[in-house]
């Protein structure tokens, strides 16, 4: 298939004999010839490095605002998704593009390595994430309540939960909201007040499906990794916690002379109080504690 940087030396219709190849002496001759066989299968004689190749493809003429503004494209015969734009370039530019193509073709790995680049994932994760096991972004699924037949009602409750959490002082940043199909449900019978968050489903039987709503959010300020290490004879970390109405584990007091103070929780707690935010425990040993 054609690659960036290939230098066209000649063009011929597929049914033509080998000696009928139109030599690419001038750009105008090539464009005129290809414009006459729009949509047909052709042979391309190209120079790629030290080699000369004969490639098969379909010529396409893309006309823009007028017939004077058109672009010639060759579609590979073996792959309809592979398109190559024919353009008039300098030899130096063609050589540069050929080198880029060579690196991509010769690379056998995936992702960044397809371009011949090395990416230090371990270093990036250790440098730019608060913890190597932290995903930073979090999500929560809200299920429809009994007699909620429209997804809009679930979205309303989802945004009410998010707004209530932010208003109470939980530092969150909205990322995205999406519907999510939940299948193979078991019947749940709840008594009294409906359960919250993902436990809100009621009255569905097995093999039925429901449309839930997934909310994605980020920490509004930062996640800070801390290690609390009790000393000899210490039985407590020195923090008092409680769970908010929206399900977040919040620190509401830090004792002095404890592992929590030595780990640096006191200044974080004071900073959160000054900004009228909760200090939230997001993860414990890499496992999320977020709702």
> What is the block-wise mean pLDDT of the chain (291 residues), using blocks of 10 residues?
80 66 72 76 82 82 62 77 79 84 65 60 86 86 89 95 96 94 57 40 55 93 88 90 95 92 92 93 88 88
Q: Count the neighbouring beta carbons within 10 Å of the beta carbon of residue 208.
A: 14
pTM here?
Answer: 0.54
Burial of 166-196, coded b for 16+ CB within 10 Å and e otherwise, reads beebbbbeeeebeeeebeebeeeeeeeeeee
Query: pLDDT value at position 96?
Result: 85
For 192, residues 6+ apart whose C-beta sits below 8 A from its C-beta are none
Query: pLDDT value at position 20?
Result: 63
Alpha-carbon distance of 204 to 261, in angstroms, equals: 48
The DSSP 8-state label assigned to residue 236 in this structure reads: -
Q: Where are the domains of the chain?
A: 7-115, 138-219, 239-288
Alpha-carbon distance of 229 to 237, in angstroms, equals: 8
Query: pLDDT value at position 28?
Result: 75
């Amino acid at each position: 298939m054609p690659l960036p940087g290939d230098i066209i030396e000649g063009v011929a219709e597929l049914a033509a004999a080998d000696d009928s190849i139109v030599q690419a002496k001038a750009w105008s001759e090539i464009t005129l010839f290809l414009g006459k066989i729009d949509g047909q299968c052709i042979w391309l004689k190209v120079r790629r490095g030290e080699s000369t190749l004969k490639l098969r493809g379909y010529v396409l003429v893309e006309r823009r605002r007028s017939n004077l503004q058109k672009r010639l494209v060759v579609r590979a015969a073996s792959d309809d998704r592979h398109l190559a734009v024919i353009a008039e370039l300098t030899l130096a530019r063609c050589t540069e593009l050929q080198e880029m193509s060579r690196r991509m073709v010769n690379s056998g790995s995936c992702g960044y390595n397809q371009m011949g680049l090395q990416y230090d994932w371990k270093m990036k994760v250790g440098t730019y994430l608060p913890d190597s096991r932290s995903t930073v972004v979090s999500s929560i699924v809200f299920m429809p309540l009994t007699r909620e037949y429209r997804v809009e009602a679930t979205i309303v409750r989802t945004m009410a939960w998010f707004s209530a959490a932010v208003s109470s002082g939980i530092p969150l940043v909205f990322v995205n909201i999406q519907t999510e199909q939940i299948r193979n449900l078991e019947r749940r019978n709840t008594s009294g007040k409906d359960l919250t968050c993902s436990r809100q489903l009621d009255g569905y039987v097995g093999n039925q499906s429901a449309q839930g709503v997934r909310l994605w959010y980020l920490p509004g300020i930062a996640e800070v990794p801390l290690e609390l290490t009790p000393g000899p004879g210490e039985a407590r970390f020195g923090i008092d916690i409680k769970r908010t109405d929206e399900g977040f584990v919040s620190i509401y007091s830090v004792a002095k002379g404890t592992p929590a103070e030595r780990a640096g929780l006191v200044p974080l707690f004071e900073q959160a109080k000054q900004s009228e935010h909760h200090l939230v425990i997001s993860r414990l040993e890499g496992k999320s504690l977020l709702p």
